[in-house]
Amino acid sequence: MFQKYVLTGLLVLVAMRFGFAWATGTLTPAQMNYSFPYAKSTLPLLFHYGAWGSIPLAFLLAYLVQEHAMEWDAMTCILAIIIGIVGGGLMMWMYAHGPIPEADKEFPVGLCLFLYMVVAIAIAVLEYFGTAAPSSSELWWVTGFLTLYVALGNHFLLQVFRPLCYNENPLYSPIGWATVLIVGAFLSVVTVVRGT
């Protein structure tokens, strides 16, 4: 029952993120060039592959809610939401202090991302720590998908498929690699320990 609300809410946030990016002039390369004429590199939301990855992630999160929501108690959910708020806030802080102009730095676009990440992180925490006996295969699928999603969010795919306005080299980002490796390693360890 709850999975429909989760899926709808997350997809609405994704749609709003793209809509607000259009409204703030940060969706397309042409808009970014117009909005930031003196920036040597910009990242329009259209080419932020993590934003596109949020669509299949919404379906995965809805599936996890469908399968396990009845196992999650209120206190664990509250703790997971707090962790989601902290994680989403840290992510927004990193965006705000990033070196190039991008859509997620704009208020309404970033707010949509923040709300999405609070829910996504909370559900991931509940999957790994609030589910009584998660199957090893399910955890490995979730771990693989989340690690790929973090890699997309760190712009690794932009090294190959990049708009002309993006002049960065994401594969040479120590912070990007550290983020992907830490998330992937942590989730893999939890999967090995928790998987049945």
- pTM assigned to the model: 0.95
What is the pLDDT tens value at each position of the chain, 196 positions in all? 789 999 999 999 999 999 999 999 999 999 999 999 999 999 999 999 999 999 999 999 999 999 999 999 999 999 999 999 999 999 999 989 988 999 999 999 999 999 999 999 999 999 999 999 899 999 999 999 999 999 999 988 888 888 888 888 888 889 899 999 999 999 999 999 998 7
Name the residue with tokens 């955890």. 139
**DSSP reduced 3-state for 102:** strand
CA distance 25 to 90: 25
Residues facing 102 on adjacent strands: 43
Q: What is the dihedral of CA 60, 62, 66, 68, to 10 degrees?
A: 70
Residue ranges covered by each domain of the chain: 2-194
